[in-house]
Amino acid sequence: MPALASALLPFALWMVDPRADKVDVSGGATIELRGGFAPVTPTPTAESEPSFLMILTPNVDFETVHRSRGSFTMGYSPRVQWRLPNRLSIDRPLLLHQGYLSYGVGITRRLSLLVDVGGSAGELDYTGIQIALGEGQAETPETDVAQFAVGNASFEIRVLPTRLDEVRFIPSFDIRAPLGETREQNDVTGGFPQQITFDLTSSYRRTLTRLDDLELTVIPGMVDYDFETTFASLEGRLAWLRTISLPTSVRLEAGVFAANLWRSVDSRREGDWKVFPVGSFTILGRLSASATHQLDGTLGVGVVSFFDRVSEVVEPRAYASLGLAATIPPRWLASINASMYTAATKEPRTRTNVGFELFDVPETVIQAQTPFTYTIDDQTRFEFGTVFSVRGSHFASEDFDFSQFEAWLYVAARVGGSTARGRLELGERSSGSIGVGTGGLRAQSGGR
């Protein structure tokens, strides 16, 4: 029924709106087969077990374009996962519903609006938990199957006062909530609280020269856990952007983050402040190009504010990311995507007690994926590669150790079709890697 409703809604909108120039539809399916090792229940003592995964992800997407320059896009994509041998508490395939809506319109030459809504609801095991928790989350709920719902929405207003200035206002909302048995478990032992986040991002960007831009960003916000623990926050950042040579650019950013705990189950902590610096350095561009290949790369390091989705705390988190993509005409794309997040605090968190033995809480996560994609034609692609992740203690821990080791070899194939020009699929599915990897449709990154 959700798929049928998704299919009928755009056509209904088009039928009642004669201004629509066209309606395009695309769809397809990705099937991924994995073999490797991963924990079943992610506890400090969990051992990685050999497993076989099959993940099927069909999708359907629609787009309507209006003469008034507005466009409406929506999509639905269920994720069905089988794990063999199945040692999970659910003896059937895991199902995750995923969908999004997007509407953009240029009201005038200097004013535009973009509305973006996404969400997912269903079940995931450890191998896909990042879809629920987001990138950079080191500690995970101690459950073999997480039942949850995620919803996010943003409304962007973009104004160009002059040809050198740009102003953006972006209110955004995000909710992540446990469902079913996961909610019942959270009510008893904790570990997967409901998290509600609201941010009001305001930014001003000024073009200084042909190669230099300056950007000021201010983000007041609120984060709530289970209507019991609530933080009010304010972040300010100043960024310098430099175009070294097309298409190579650098972004250097620095600022301050402050959060106040204004509601807590422990009334003695109410009013506590956390203030720390944030910043980042990113460089991206073309490393090499010739008639036989094109190599693009991205490198980023920094410290960001992070609201932990499991422990209900806010802390600075250091990260490093690396991305390399080699295009080998006419059909090959080889990539490396790697990241590391770790707590940027002086001391590790208090240890957790498991079976009368103390263990470090995971505060570091390292992830990597190496997809090799072969494009057969505009509708068919094949891919193989590796997926890796591991969690670890705080780097300052006296007993630093890695845990929750996950490693996979995978193959994936995608078949799709579209009524759009060139028969290209709508959205991001028209290019890039196709493996599910460690992400998902509209998976949100970061900790806010």
Alpha carbons 11 and 4: distance in angstroms, whole number:
12
Local structure of 433: helix, strand or coil: coil
What pLDDT digit, counting tens, does each position of 161-178 carry? 999 999 999 999 999 999
Alpha carbons 360 and 351: distance in angstroms, whole number:
5
Contact status, residue 305 vs residue 223, Cβ threshold 8 Å = no
pLDDT (0 to 100) of residue 15: 45
Nearest to 390 by CA among 445, 334, 438: 438
Instruction: Mention every residue, 6+ apart, whose C-beta is less than 8 A from residue 202.
Output: 167, 168, 169, 170, 217, 218, 219
pLDDT (0 to 100) of residue 3: 46
Alpha carbons 74 and 64: distance in angstroms, whole number:
9
State which residues of the chain have pLDDT below 50. Answer: 1-4, 6-8, 11-12, 14-16, 438-447
Nearest to 36 by CA among 24, 23, 54: 54
Neighbour tally for 158: CB within 10 Å: 17
- DSSP strand E in 194-247: where? 195-207, 212-225, 229-245
The DSSP bridge partners found for residue 205 are: 166, 215
pLDDT (0 to 100) of residue 21: 67
Alpha carbons 412 and 383: distance in angstroms, whole number:
5
pLDDT (0 to 100) of residue 19: 53
pLDDT (0 to 100) of residue 4: 44
Q: Provide the whole-model pTM.
A: 0.87
**For residue 314, what are its two tokens?**
């806010």
pLDDT (0 to 100) of residue 440: 35
pLDDT (0 to 100) of residue 14: 46
Backbone phi, psi, residue 47, to 5°: -100, 145
Neighbour tally for 351: CB within 10 Å: 15
Contact status, residue 408 vs residue 375, Cβ threshold 8 Å = no
**What's 13's DSSP letter?**
H
> What does the radius of gyration of the chain's CA atoms come to, in whole angstroms?
23
Residue 433: alpha-carbon gap to chain centroid:
15
Contact status, residue 425 vs residue 47, Cβ threshold 8 Å = no
Q: Structural domains in the chain?
A: 2-430 (2.40.170)
pLDDT (0 to 100) of residue 446: 36
